[in-house]
């Protein structure tokens, strides 16, 4: 675990110029800490998390960089769940935060159920077969009411071809994952969790953007759209949007 970052390391993570960080520091957009001996700027993971909580554009771009990079790139511990136990603990933290949001009320559990199904799917379907980086990216922006999860795993098509070898592309695999009940036999039953996700999205007017490989499925209430992405990556990338939660 890296305890602190210098200004150049944060500039690389955010893909901005160090000069931009100095300007943000002066304007209070992204305050730094100072070394009492030399006055050098530095940051902790808490600082990075707070910045992402108010700047969704950079948060999304940061997650995309980790997901789409050909080789594994550095991911701060705050956003990295190496195993399902860490993910469960951090999901519980999110649940407590949402429970205290008066605008969400008793519906907080629906959000964590959707997030939990997506995150657990990553661990269930890649257990012992992670191509490079085990575990998932997990973070959220409470201001925009969005949660991002990603993994660098095998992807939906590779997983479902074990059960339905006739699947030929990422779009058809995604449509199958979210709309077809496959079987109740182990391990196939694990894949049926995404049908539950779709039902919650449908019933409570949430939104989900989910990519695997070159395919994307977008769920907005009852509407389903499936299309190709200009960028392809092996694992899965999901954005849960609960701002219209009913």
**Per-residue confidence band for 186, with pLDDT thresholds at 50, 70 and 90:** very low
Q: What is the mean pLDDT of the chain?
A: 92
**Per-residue confidence band for 3, with pLDDT thresholds at 50, 70 and 90:** confident
What was the pLDDT predicted at 102?
A: 87
Burial class (CB in 10 A: 0-12, 13-18, 19+), 115: buried
Rounded CA separation 77/214 (Å): 28
CA end-to-end span of the chain: 39
Task: Count how many Cα atoms sit within 13 Å of the Cα of residue 191 in the half-sphere of its side chain.
Answer: 28
Q: How far is CA 222 from the centre of its chain?
A: 22
Element (H, E) at 90: helix 84-99
**Per-residue confidence band for 226, with pLDDT thresholds at 50, 70 and 90:** very high
Write down the pTM of the prediction: 0.92
Closest to 144 (Cα-Cα) out of 52, 16, 219? 52
All CATH 3.30.565 domain ranges in the chain, comma separated: 77-241
Q: Which letter does DSSP use for residue 244 in this model?
A: T
Residue 152: is its pLDDT beyond 70?
Answer: yes
**CA pseudo-torsion sign 24, 25, 31, 35:** positive
Burial class (CB in 10 A: 0-12, 13-18, 19+), 26: exposed
What was the pLDDT predicted at 187?
A: 46
CATH fit for domain 77-241, picks 3.30.565, 3.30.70, 3.40.50, 3.30.2450: 3.30.565
- Is residue 18 within 8 A of residue 40, CB to CB? The reply is no
Task: Count how many Cα atoms sit within 13 Å of the Cα of residue 182 in the half-sphere of its side chain.
Answer: 25
């Amino acid at each position: 675990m890296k305890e602190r970052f210098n200004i150049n390391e944060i500039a690389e993570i955010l893909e901005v110029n160090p000069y931009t960080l100095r300007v943000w520091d002066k304007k209070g957009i992204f305050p730094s800490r100072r070394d009492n001996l030399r006055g050098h700027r530095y940051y902790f993971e808490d600082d990075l998390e707070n910045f992402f909580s108010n700047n969704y554009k950079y948060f999304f771009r940061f997650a995309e960089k980790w997901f789409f990079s050909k080789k594994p790139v550095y991911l701060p511990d705050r956003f990295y769940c190496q195993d399902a136990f860490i993910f469960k603990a951090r999901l519980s933290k999110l649940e407590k935060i949402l429970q205290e949001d008066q605008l969400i009320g008793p519906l907080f559990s629906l959000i964590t159920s959707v997030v939990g199904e997506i995150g657990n799917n990553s661990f269930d379907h890649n257990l012992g077969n992670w191509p490079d980086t085990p575990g998932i990216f997990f973070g959220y922006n409470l201001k925009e009411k969005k949660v991002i999860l990603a993994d660098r795993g095998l992807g939906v098509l590779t997983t479902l071809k074990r059960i339905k070898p006739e699947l030929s592309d990422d779009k058809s695999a995604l449509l199958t994952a979210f709309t077809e009940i496959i079987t109740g036999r182990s391990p196939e039953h694990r894949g049926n969790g995404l049908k539950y996700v779709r039902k919650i999205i449908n019933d409570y007017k949430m939104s989900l953007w989910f990519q695997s490989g070159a395919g994307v499925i977008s769920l907005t209430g009852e509407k389903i759209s499936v299309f190709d992405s200009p960028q392809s990556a092996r694992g899965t990338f999901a954005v849960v949007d609960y701002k219209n939660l009913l």
